[in-house]
């Protein structure tokens, strides 16, 4: 597999073309951003940790029958993935109400609703990724109703599998953001990454936050939290 030119550079990852038109390389950087890129920093080795954590999450999901873009992690910072067209929606799954939603609804962070909450946001940095509903997404041509129902079905299954994975390492999956892509034949697959950058992960025993909120909220020990997640996950997998 030969790495070719940079296709796209995001806030925390780079995407490179390869000599196979159906495959891309995802390169994980050490940059951390929050509040739509207003707060920025470099966290040494974050890219390496997220690559390892995301690889375990995607392998677990694939083993559970969830279709994803992931092929393999081939070195410390790089993964080989199928090339997909990203659907410009961020799907947020909430098992507890936290962060911006707790703030907007004026409920205490950590409130556990009887139902799982699914939000969709328009993936558009200029607009600040606004929350929208299915009808807005269809009206803008971002997805069809059929595609949205497949996305919600997959999101529910992903939530089940990841909740169980994290519980095995004594971590509660509070909420997370995922993205989907379409393969050349129109199949919807899970894409992007699953890591402490994109999930709220609370230690079951202590309630300690082991995720990106340590950076966003200046709680300190950001890298140590990511290292803790990687170490616990590696203990329960063969990697």
Cα 178 from chain centre: 5
Sign of torsion over alpha carbons 12, 134, 100, 190: negative
Contact between 101 and ligand UDP per CB under 6 A: yes
Rounded Cα–Cα distance for residues 191 and 7 (Å): 16
Contact between 200 and ligand UDP per CB under 6 A: yes
What is the closest distance, in whole angstroms, from the C-beta atom of residue 5 to ligand UDP in the complex? 27
CB under 8 A, 24+ apart: contacts of 144-149 = 147/87, 147/188, 148/120
Q: Which stretch binds ligand UDP (CB under 6 A): 5-13, 136-144, 170-178, 222-230?
A: 170-178
* Nearest residue to ligand UDP on Cβ basis: 99
Closest C-alpha among 208, 180, 215 to residue 194: 180
* Cβ–Cβ under 8 Å, residues 169 and 196: no
Nearer to ligand UDP, 3 or 33 (CB): 33
Contact between 109 and ligand UDP per CB under 6 A: no
Subset of residues 110 to 129 that bind ligand UDP, contact rule: CB under 6 A: 129
Contact between 212 and ligand UDP per CB under 6 A: yes
Among residues 175, 179, 227, 228, the one that binds ligand UDP under rule CB under 6 A: 175
Give the footprint of ligand UDP on this chain (CB under 6 A): 92, 98-101, 129, 175-177, 198-200, 212
């Amino acid at each position: 597999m030969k790495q070719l030119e940079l296709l796209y550079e995001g806030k925390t990852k780079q995407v490179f073309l390869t000599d196979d038109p159906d495959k891309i390389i995802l390169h994980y950087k050490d940059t951390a951003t929050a509040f739509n890129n207003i707060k920025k920093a470099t966290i040494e080795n974050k890219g390496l940790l997220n690559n390892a954590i995301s690889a375990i999450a995607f392998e677990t999901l694939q083993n559970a029958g969830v279709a994803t873009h992931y092929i393999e992690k081939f070195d410390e910072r790089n993964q080989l993935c199928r090339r997909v067209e990203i659907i410009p929606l961020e799907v947020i799954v909430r098992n507890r109400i936290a962060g911006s939603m707790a703030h907007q609804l004026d409920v205490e962070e950590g409130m556990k609703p009887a139902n799982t909450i699914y939000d969709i946001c328009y993936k558009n940095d200029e607009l600040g990724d606004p929350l929208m509903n299915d009808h807005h997404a269809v009206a803008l041509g971002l997805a069809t109703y059929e595609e949205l129902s497949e996305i919600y079905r997959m999101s529910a299954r992903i939530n089940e599998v990841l909740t169980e994975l994290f519980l095995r390492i004594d971590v509660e999956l509070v909420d997370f953001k995922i993205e989907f892509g379409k393969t050349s034949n129109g199949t919807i697959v899970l894409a992007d990454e699953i890591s402490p950058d994109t999930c709220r992960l609370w230690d079951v025993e202590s309630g300690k936050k082991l995720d990106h909120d340590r950076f966003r909220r200046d709680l300190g020990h950001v890298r140590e939290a990511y290292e803790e997640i990687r170490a616990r996950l590696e203990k329960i997998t063969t990697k």
